[in-house]
Amino acid sequence: MQKDKPFSQACENNKAPILEKLTELFKQPGTILEIGTGTGQHAVHFASHLPHLVWQPSDHPQNAQLARAWIDDSELGNIYSPIALNVLEGNWSGLPAIDGVFSANTAHIMAWQEVEAMFHGVSRILPVNGLFCLYGPFSYGSRHTSESNSRFDLSLRTQAPHMGIRDMEDLVALGAETGLALEDDFEMPANNRLLVWRKS
Ligand SMILES: C[S@@+](CC[C@H](N)C(=O)[O-])C[C@H]1O[C@@H](n2cnc3c(N)ncnc32)[C@H](O)[C@@H]1O
């Protein structure tokens, strides 16, 4: 029976362009950890189109089961059950061996301390040469790339001061500190980017 499933229109809009990039980036068979999976729409879309990959969804304990309905309904054999993963906590134990990491629209929701923890954790679990792909809106030299991103940033900071669009300079510096070298910065629709770091 069809269950009520959480739905994000943004995921429907961005899943095809993101898939196009992930298809180029994750060519080899392997297991991909998704951080902050949300509804599960991305997980199902990417796993169904990239059958050489195994997808490991995860999210903050508060949201870890949100993706369950999409994943169960998909009946795909290459998605593991979603796991609870708060990037701030512990040593991310209980994960299978990970070959790559993907995360969408998380860096502006997390506090900067969580973004730092995410980079440290990703670097710990990635093998040398493994990729970390981070999708979302970003600013450059503290300048937003569009009026709408500027408004979005203001609305985030008004809702909660710890949230906000992250600046590339800070992320590149954080990557360098944690052994992740920025390799690509793809322009994506709707003023978003797909940033790709390689574990050195
Ligand atoms: C805006 S949603 C993005 C969901 C999905 N990736 C998407 O693109 O629609 C932000 C996600 O980040 C997750 N998140 C926030 N803080 C987190 C943390 N400390 N550890 C793991 N995930 C976190 C939230 O639970 C939420 O699922």
pLDDT digits (tens, 9 = 90+) for 56-106: 999 999 999 999 999 999 999 999 999 999 999 988 988 999 999 999 999
Quote the CA–CA distance of 193 and 152 in Å, as a whole number. Answer: 15
Does residue 12 form part of some domain? no
For the whole prediction, is pTM greater than 0.75? yes
Q: 126 with 185, same domain? A: yes
Q: Is the same domain home to 163 and 194?
A: yes
Q: 12 phi and psi, to 5 degrees?
A: -60, -40
**Are 79 and 122 in the same domain?**
no
Q: Assess whether 87 and 169 both reside in one domain.
A: no
- Nearest Cα to 96, choosing from 30, 52, 41? 30
In this structure, the residue with its CA closest to atom 5 of ligand 1 is: 38
- Inter-residue contact 175 to 5 (CB < 8 Å): no
- Which range of residues forms the domain containing residue 45? 31-98
Structure confidence at residue 3 as a pLDDT band (50, 70, 90): low
- Residue with the smallest CA separation from ligand 1 atom 10 is 106
pLDDT above 90 (res 4): no
Same domain, 94 and 115: no
In a domain, 1, yes or no: no
H or E segment and range at residue 83: strand 83-84
Domain membership of residue 67 (yes or no) is yes
Distance CA 57, CA 38 (A): 9
In short, whether 84's Cβ falls inside 6 Å of ligand 1 is no
Residue 114 in contact with ligand 1 by CB distance below 6 A: yes
Is the same domain home to 188 and 151?
yes
Same domain, yes or no, for 85 and 143?
A: no
CA of 148 to the centre of ligand 1 (A): 21
- 38 and 94 co-located in one domain: yes
Q: With a 6 A CB cut-off, is 109 part of the ligand 1 pocket?
A: yes
